[in-house]
Structure 1
Amino acid sequence: MVLTKEYRICMPLTVEEYRIGQLYMIARHSHEQSDSDEGVEVVENTECEDPVHGKGQFTEKRIHLSNKLPYWIQALIPRIFYVTEKAWNYYPFTITEYTCSFLPKFQISIKTRYEDNNGSSENCLGLTPVELIHREVDFIDIAYDELSAKHYKEEEDPKFFQSKKTGRGPLIEGWRESTQPIMCSYKLVDASFEVWGMQTRVEDFIHKCIRDILLLGHRQAFAWIDEWHDMSLDDVRQYESKMHAATNEKIQPKTEAENSSQPATPSGSIPSSPKSPTGSANRSWFSWS
């Protein structure tokens, strides 16, 4: 059975503010976490349109991460390994999917909706009665949930941080009930690894990674608010493009090695415009955006 969780992450922002902060945070975080061996390579970033959701932004990325996986997973995969992330951003609704050609039974799909509330919507993603029965809700508290020591920075701790531009923070106990403005990211994550003997272990590992990244990324989005709060959408898109180019340059040695060891993809197989996934499409690996 697919392991399904709905993560709810509240932020002391409005939904419109979060749109800017999220784009800034993902671009900066990806650049800071990338090096010559591993990181996030941006393959495509373009406008898209869907008959239901309207106009949006499509991105495709390669996430190079084999050395950061546990040894017991590294033993199962090739030396050169990456996950493909495809994301359709129809803000305030997004779809993110991850695929890995080496692990066809490894699938992750994330659907996200952003609302101006403190996580009180019980079914904003429109789940069926059966899906609601199997859903597990997990609230992530950016201020008081434990963060890995290797990622902790006091200047990024919402319990101590106060924005100079907005005056928001520090966040005290019970802040989700008393803080204004407040918004919530509702993220429905389906993760499955249908390999006998390893399914539970791998699916639990996936969700632990997702939760850790969501916690770190949203803490940073708030702690960096003075860097992005005055940006317009055009401003943050320009910043995003600049950081994508810089990040791709950082991990160039890795991608050159992969390109030299793998046959080129025929140009005819690449669609001219990215399509939103349908219910029958293969679902894939994980994103925290």
Structure 2
Amino acid sequence: MLSCPNKAFVGMSVNPLSYDAVVILGDRCPAYLALNRFLNILQNVFLHDAFVTTLRKAEQFLWASSEMDSFRDMVKNLIEAQKWAEGIRGCVTKIELWLCHRDSNDKKVNLEFIDELLKFTPAPCNEPLYHKLKDYAEEARLLIQDIDTALSMSSNMSELELLYSKACGLPIYMKEIVVLNGLADFIPSLSPSGLWTAVASYGTPNGWAGEVEDFPTHIYVFLTRDRTHRVKVASHRPTSHPTGSPRVHPLPPPQATTTSTTVLK
């Protein structure tokens, strides 16, 4: 059992979530002082050098027996907090660097990685940039909601291009931008009838799924029920149908299936 100068070590329990500790140690015991440093460093603004120094000083207590398990747990918490804070700072640095230089999407921070950092509740330590990163992520999520709404409502091409432009202007990479990129790069092709442009390319040769008539002069995006395959339809030469409703003339099932470049999964 670890001994202190004036009082014997009795025990220590630490709640790693609230950092609330119950310590029954002499006030001059090195382990007690180290624990105080742990609690202070987690509550103060994150400083890399302070974390490194504190962890180095804590190494002398890690060899002790099971009575110091709570101490070792606190060391693990400190290490995780350091990684978390450095991850937050790294993301904000990359975001601000991208905003300064407007580099390609390869330089953006992935929203999924940011979400992994923001999911900690409460925050492992006091990193002021946490709230800044949270605001950036919230802006990206709001845009994702707009994208999903536009796709589900089969918005016209100008709206989709506007959303794509907004997504490109964000310093955070979102997987939804791949969908919009495919739509923005849409190249019309005449249907066999010469009246409509239809690209609906899952499992059909040359991307054709059927003839489409009597739609307004907009590009539409149709989603399958599971939202895995998207159908793009663009008007070429609108015609009037007696019933006033659009018609789709399906083509016979192909003998061999090919996937067009317009398929977005």
The TM-score with structure 1 as length reference comes to 0.17
Structure having the larger proportion of residues in strand:
1
Structure having the larger proportion of residues in helix:
2
The TM-score with structure 2 as length reference comes to 0.19
Q: Which has the larger radius of gyration?
A: 2
- The higher relative CO (CA closer than 8 Å, separation ≥ 6) is in 1
